[in-house]
């Protein structure tokens, strides 16, 4: 039946199903009826004519409205067909893989774009795990996640979306863009600084020909190394080289663990001219000036840690350390000690007062160094305050403080952190001794107050945490102790002032004695020179013995800890304290020291619960094993042969497992 004609079978004309057309027709019908009624009232002849015209017009209107309705319906049907066809063609032709599965993970349908990755294999009506196990595992992994994920499948990169409610998987091939991104990352610029640690010292006694041969050897080794990894190398000075490399080359060198360090050290040692390298490398910045500054900062960090190592670090990232397996060579000279001493004198003269503080839970080296700095400040006519929390010290420090009460001038100079904070001004000078990490200072709030005017004197290897822009830095990892460094400065002070007194000399000599374990470790000629000077100024060996005496409880506690020793890795020993017992940190460290006297032990560790609730780890080494790297991995630091860390939110047993895991990971990466 023609839909354009009015229907006479009792059904409504099609256009009346349209609400708007129905309203128009109703309005027209009302007007026609009204016109016919009025015509009959006025003139019957006119009414007949009016009725005829109205009927014809009404029929025509109905016919035209049916046509309009039919045209609209045909347009909608045609549009719907084209949309549906477009959807089908899009699924078939679009460059995105689509796969539909049923509840049994059978493949019901896949578009042609995805089928090409199956290389013509018929995959329909087959289980996905039978067709491709890798894709099935990826689908299982992300089936409950509605986010997009980047995956690797069939050696290509895809962005995958899983719609579990529709059993549908979408795969967008992004291999080309992933390759571009990888190339971009591989070609990022890295800048490095290479320094020959002890070039000046080694070449002092060499002939010109020997110097030339050594320089040629070093240059050739570095040039061959850089060419092997596709890096650019330029010699700036006799002992300084500039390095530029792509990130890809840097990654390859890191995988090799910077073997160039061992090559140069071992080869030059065989020639009786032992040289070591220190390298600082930065990456991750587009600004070359920032890269160069960061590379120099990384080199300074490597040198501050004793040299013979590499520091790789971006501007905001975490430093990665390589090398540092050997004891640092002595690079201190009398000239440098004099320059540091004179620079310190100038800074003191520019300040209204001086504050000096060691690390928290101070030992003899820390407090002895503070006493030495106070005396140097007095020699420069400056008031110096020693910042100390007397309520949190070990028994040996308590005995020293009791002796200091006999020296009112020194005793009055020892103040609490609260007093120091109230006395500090913008012109005051802060000297950090025996540490360089602000977080372990005796009073971190005092450091924060004076952070723009800071001097650091320390014998530990420099760590990542370090004050920003210190005014003077004197870090010598080769030195036995901070007291040794400060003792050397007295030679360059005014002899008109009062010399170092007995209690100061005794405390400083005790600091050296304790840190060297009775002059058995980390001692050099300068150590004995410093000890000799202190003895000549009144240091008393009997008083030293009194200060180092320990009470019976500590003695028994140390022996109790030693009795729990366990051995592992054939050359390491470890003590693990009880979970429910708190141990004094100094006693624990002494027990750790004692383990090194056992035959076959090259490294020792002790794990105990501390009085502050943290779990403390102390590490000691004969020098064959770098315990500093182990402690740094666990959040601490120290020396190649001495280190420590404190860990919260873990039990003693958990820290033991963490220590063993860290040691094994380092061994695996060697």
Q: Which two tokens stand for residue 479?
A: 């030195």
Given a contact cutoff of 8 angstroms between Cβ atoms, the answer to whether 203 and 237 are in contact is no
* Spatial distance between the Cα atoms of 522 and 189, rounded to a whole number of angstroms: 40
From CA 264, how far away is CA 276, in angstroms rounded? 7
Terminal Cα-to-Cα distance of the chain (whole angstroms): 90
Q: Which of 255-269, 306-320, 572-586 has the lowest mean pLDDT?
A: 306-320
- The pLDDT assigned to 4 comes to 43
Total Cβ atoms within 10 A of residue 635: 11
Largest separation between any pair of C-alpha atoms in the chain:
149
Q: Write out pLDDT tens, residues 350-380.
A: 899 999 999 988 989 999 999 999 999 999 9
Q: List pLDDT tens digits, range 461-515.
A: 777 788 988 888 898 887 889 999 999 998 888 766 678 899 999 999 999 998 8
Give the number of other CB atoms < 10 A from CB of residue 146.
11
CA–CA distances in Å: residue 371 to residues 367, 386, 404, 552: 6, 8, 10, 28
**Helix, coil or strand: residue 568:** strand
pLDDT at 670: 56
DSSP state string for 91-141: HHHSSSEEEEE-TT-BEEEE-HHHHGGGTT---TTSBHHHH-HHHHHHHHH
pLDDT in tens, 223-240: 999 999 999 999 999 999
How does residue 90 score in pLDDT terms, banded at 50, 70 and 90? Answer: low
- 3-state class (DSSP) for residue 427: coil
Q: How far apart, in whole angstroms, are the C-alpha atoms of residue 652 and residue 594?
A: 21
> Model confidence over 47-83: pLDDT tens digits?
788 778 877 877 887 787 777 777 777 777 777 767 6
For β-strands 603-609 and 615-621, DSSP reports them as antiparallel
* DSSP-derived 3-state class of residue 142: helix
- Tell me 386's DSSP state: E
CATH homologous superfamily of 97-179: PAS domain (3.30.450.20)
Q: Let me know: does 420 contact 446? Beta carbons within 8 Å.
A: yes
Give CATH for domain 553-669. 3.10.310.30
String of DSSP letters for 311-324: EE--SSS--EEEE-
CATH 3.40.50.410 matches 334-548: no
pLDDT value for 2: 46
**Highest CATH level, class, for 187-323:** alpha beta
Domain ranges of the chain: 14-89, 97-179, 187-323, 334-548, 553-669
DSSP conformation class of 41: H
In the block, which residue shows the tokens 């023609």?
2
């Amino acid at each position: 039946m023609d839909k354009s004609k009015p229907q006479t079978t009792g059904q409504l004309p099609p256009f009346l199903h349209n609400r708007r057309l129905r309203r128009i027709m109703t309005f027209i019908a009302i007007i026609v009826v009204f016109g016919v009624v009025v015509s009959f009232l006025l003139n019957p002849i006119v009414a007949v004519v009016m009725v005829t015209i109205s009927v014809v017009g009404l029929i025509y209107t109905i016919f035209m409205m049916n046509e309009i309705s039919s045209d609209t319906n045909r347009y909608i049907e045609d549009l719907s067909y084209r949309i549906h066809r477009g959807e089908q063609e899009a699924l078939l032709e679009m460059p995105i893989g689509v796969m539909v599965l049923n509840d049994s993970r059978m493949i019901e349908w896949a578009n042609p774009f995805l089928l090409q990755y199956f290389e013509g294999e018929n995959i329909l009506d087959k289980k996905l795990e039978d067709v491709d196990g890798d894709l099935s595992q990826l689908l299982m992994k992300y089936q409950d996640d509605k986010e997009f994920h980047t995956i690797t499948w069939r050696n290509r990169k895809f962005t995958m979306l899983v719609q579990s409610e529709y059993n549908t998987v979408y795969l967008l091939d992004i291999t080309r863009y992933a390759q571009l991104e990888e190339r971009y990352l591989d070609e990022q610029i890295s800048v490095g600084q290479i320094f020959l640690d002890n070039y000046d010292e080694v070449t002092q006694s060499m002939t010109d020909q020997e110097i030339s041969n050594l320089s040629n050897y070093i240059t050739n080794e570095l040039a061959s190394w850089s060419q092997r990894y596709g890096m650019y190398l330029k010699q700036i000075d006799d002992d300084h080289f500039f390095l530029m490399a792509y990130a890809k080359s840097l990654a390859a060198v890191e995988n090799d663990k910077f073997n160039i360090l061992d090559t140069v050290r071992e080869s030059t040692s065989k020639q009786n001219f032992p040289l070591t390298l220190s390298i600082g490398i930065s990456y991750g910045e587009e600004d070359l000036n920032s890269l160069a500054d960061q590379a120099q900062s990384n080199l300074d960090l490597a040198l501050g840690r004793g040299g013979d190592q590499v520091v790789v670090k971006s501007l905001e990232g975490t430093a990665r350390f390589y090398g540092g397996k050997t004891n640092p060579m002595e690079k201190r000279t009398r000239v440098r000690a004099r320059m540091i001493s004179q620079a310190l004198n100038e800074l003191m003269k520019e300040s209204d007062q001086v504050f000096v503080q060691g690390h928290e839970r101070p030992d003899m080296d820390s407090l002895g160094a503070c006493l030495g700095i106070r005396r140097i400040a007095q020699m420069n006519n400056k008031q110096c305050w020693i910042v100390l929390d007397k309520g949190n010290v070990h028994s040996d420090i308590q005995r020293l403080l009791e002796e200091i009460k006999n020296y009112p001038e020194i005793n009055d100079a020892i103040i609490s952190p609260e007093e120091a904070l109230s006395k500090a001004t913008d012109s005051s000078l802060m000297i950090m001794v025996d540490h360089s990490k602000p977080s372990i200072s005796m009073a971190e709030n005092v450091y924060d107050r004076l952070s723009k005017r800071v001097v650091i004197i320390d014998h530990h290897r420099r760590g990542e945490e370090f004050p920003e822009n210190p005014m003077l830095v004197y870090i010598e990892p080769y030195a036995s102790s901070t007291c040794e460094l400060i003792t050397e400065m007295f030679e360059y002070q005014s002899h008109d002032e009062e010399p170092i007194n007995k209690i100061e000399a005794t405390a400083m000599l005790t600091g050296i004695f304790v840190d060297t374990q009775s002059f058995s470790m980390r001692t050099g000629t300068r150590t004995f020179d410093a000890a000799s000077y202190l003895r000549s100024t009144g240091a008393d060996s009997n008083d030293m013995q009194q200060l180092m005496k320990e009470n019976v409880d500590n003695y028994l506690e140390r022996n109790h800890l030693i009795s729990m020793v366990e051995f592992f890795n054939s050359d390491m020993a470890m003590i693990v304290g009880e979970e429910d017992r708190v141990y004094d940190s100094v006693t624990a460290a002494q027990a750790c020291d004692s383990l090194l006297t056992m035959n076959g032990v090259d490294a020792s560790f002790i794990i105990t619960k501390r009085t502050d609730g943290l779990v403390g780890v102390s590490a000691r080494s004969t020098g064959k094993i770098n315990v500093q790297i182990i402690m740094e991995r666990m959040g601490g630091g120290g020396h190649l042969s001495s280190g420590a860390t404190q860990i919260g939110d873990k039990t003693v047993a958990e820290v033991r497992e963490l220590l063993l895991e860290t040691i094994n990971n380092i061994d695996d990466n060697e």
